[in-house]
């Protein structure tokens, strides 16, 4: 399933989920989105907003905070897969490559394990930009 900003959320029963189910979305992070995250997190580290500082450390431009980028998984998990009945129990990420504002970012959530008796699912999470894997991770969700 591919979603966009206008796709309505959905409520799935645990019996509706199978290994291999997935949802994906493309997002372009704007400078305004980065600034909104800066305000929310109170993270004003120069690596995220000062071009000269970022370039002196080997980056093309200021990089987006990893948690800014991964925060979009909250929407995909809580609204689409597993959906409205999901509660995130755990998250783990590996940040592999930087992501810059103005770039198209591709998100994917995939069911990799179902534990129906426990009402739990494990998810594989990926973020790609410019056809490169930038963030990989996993989540475990309780299904209410």
* Cα(116)–Cα(5) distance, integer angstroms: 30
pLDDT in the model for residue 16: 86
Q: What is the pTM of this model?
A: 0.91
pLDDT tens-place string over residues 64-81: 999 999 999 999 999 999
Helix locations, the chain, DSSP H: 31-41, 51-56, 66-70, 72-79
With bands split at pLDDT 50, 70 and 90, how would you rate the model's confidence at 32? confident
- 30-36 average pLDDT score: 86
- 82-88 average pLDDT score: 91
CB 84 within 8 A of CB 137: no
pLDDT score of 13 more than 80: no
* Cα(107)–Cα(135) distance, integer angstroms: 9
Residue 25, judged by CB atoms within 10 A of its CB (0-12, 13-18, 19+), counts as: buried
Task: Give the fold, CATH level 3, of 14-143.
Answer: Thiol Ester Dehydrase; Chain A (3.10.129)
* Cα(64)–Cα(73) distance, integer angstroms: 15
């Amino acid at each position: 399933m591919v979603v966009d900003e206008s796709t309505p959320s959905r409520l799935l029963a645990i019996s509706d989920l199978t290994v291999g189910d997935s949802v994906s979305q493309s997002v372009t992070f704007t400078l305004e989105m980065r600034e909104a995250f800066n305000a929310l997190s109170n993270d004003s580290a120069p690596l995220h907003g000062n071009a000269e500082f970022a370039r002196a450390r080997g980056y093309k431009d200021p990089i987006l905070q990893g948690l800014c980028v991964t925060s979009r998984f909250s929407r995909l998990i809580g609204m689409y897969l597993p959906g409205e009945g999901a509660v995130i129990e755990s998250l783990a990420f590996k940040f592999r490559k930087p992501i810059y504002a103005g770039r198209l970012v591709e998100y994917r959530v995939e069911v990799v394990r179902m534990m129906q008796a426990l009402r739990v699912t494990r998810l594989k999470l990926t973020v790609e930009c410019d056809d490169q894997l930038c963030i990989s991770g996993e989540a475990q969700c309780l299904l209410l």
